[in-house]
Amino acid sequence: MKHFLSTCDLSARDAVALLDSTMDMSRRRAAGDSDNLPLRGVTVANAFFEDSTRTRLSFELAARALGAEVITFTAASSSLSKGESLKDTLKTLEAMDAGALILRHPDSGAAESAVRNEWVSARIVNAGDGTHEHPTQALLDAYTIRSRFFGSDAAGKTLDGLRVVIVGDVLHSRVARSNMWLLTTLGAEVSIASPVSLQPKGVSQFDVKVFGTLDDALDTDPNVVMTLRVQRERMTSGFFPTESEYATFWGMSAARLSKLSDSSIVMHPGPMNRGLEIASSVADSSQSTVTEQVANGIAARMAVLNNIMGGH
């Protein structure tokens, strides 16, 4: 791969190879291997035009673990307030020798347009563009699922036969979008459950089942329930009557968790609204993979950086 912009165009073979590489990276981290530094001499620039905690830190750690230098730009402390454009910011970072740009931007399609218009020659990773895609999050989610269900035998495996329910604010979720592409490519049976007002437009382009209630979706005995943050900052009007009603109908509660089999897992990309889309006791339960997802994110991003910068 030259860039990593989307999970939509990944083949199953490439996706499995990235998961296998994530597994190698995770072992490498566990073993504290610091001899082999494939990105030595490379500068990775984080260009974050939107707030982020875990994604930015995770890319920083991933780049450093591979031996790269890291520079970080965040919108709040930049020349953006002086009207500098995305194009000029990326060109500035490239002029500082950045070979890879990790881009998070509030506009859907930002990373793709930087590549298409050839603003820079650096490699670009989409770290979240508006409500469009967040491909490294989907990769770490797929990896978390595969590790939980196949353990150390996971290498080479797809997610064939696993049932995944994605619940909540699918409309505003780039995480859901990237996961719908990737998890279906990997052979999982994916369903979404959300209020009609929070269903994505054009849902028929995804190979997913749509449920009108969370309880109906949970009746399918899913292996994975992926909860999503209610993205209040992207809501311009009322998408549901009240938060307590949302929690009652769409929240992953302790009662709902008890209906799942013991081996099923509950995921959340973070940041969580505890008590809204996920009950605190569920987020902290042994079936929750919330912190595991964060930890796996570093290895997944190492795999992506290593792939796009391969033989830099």
Tell whether residue 128 is a contact of ligand NCD (CB under 6 A).
yes
Specify the amino acid at residue 159: L
- Of 127 and 154, nearer to ligand NCD (C-beta) is 127
* Number of residues binding to ligand NCD, judged by CB under 6 A: 11
Q: Provide the token pair at 116.
A: 């298409």
CB of 302 to ligand NCD, least distance (A): 17
CB of 143 to ligand NCD, least distance (A): 15
Residue from 159, 229, 267, 278 touching ligand NCD (CB under 6 A): that is 229
- Of 55 and 289, nearer to ligand NCD (C-beta) is 55
- Of 42 and 142, nearer to ligand NCD (C-beta) is 142
Hey, which residues between 249 and 288 contact ligand NCD (CB under 6 A)? 269-270
Residue from 21, 55, 144, 184 touching ligand NCD (CB under 6 A): that is 55
Tell whether residue 70 is a contact of ligand NCD (CB under 6 A).
no
CB of 96 to ligand NCD, least distance (A): 25
Q: Which residue is nearest to ligand NCD (CB)?
A: 229
Return d(Cα 248, Cα 243) in angstroms, integer: 9
Return d(Cα 60, Cα 68) in angstroms, integer: 9
156 to 175: interface string for ligand NCD, x by CB under 6 A: ------------------xx
- Of 120 and 279, nearer to ligand NCD (C-beta) is 279
Pick the closest to residue 62 from 120, 127, 17 (CA basis): 127
CB of 36 to ligand NCD, least distance (A): 28
- Of 271 and 310, nearer to ligand NCD (C-beta) is 271
- Of 123 and 174, nearer to ligand NCD (C-beta) is 174
Identify whether the C-beta of residue 303 lies closer than 8 Å to the C-beta of residue 139: yes
Identify whether the C-beta of residue 287 lies closer than 8 Å to the C-beta of residue 260: yes
Hey, which residues between 169 and 228 contact ligand NCD (CB under 6 A)? 174-175
Q: Provide the token pair at 82.
A: 């002086």
Contact positions vs ligand NCD (CB under 6 A)? 54-55, 128, 134, 137, 174-175, 229, 231, 269-270
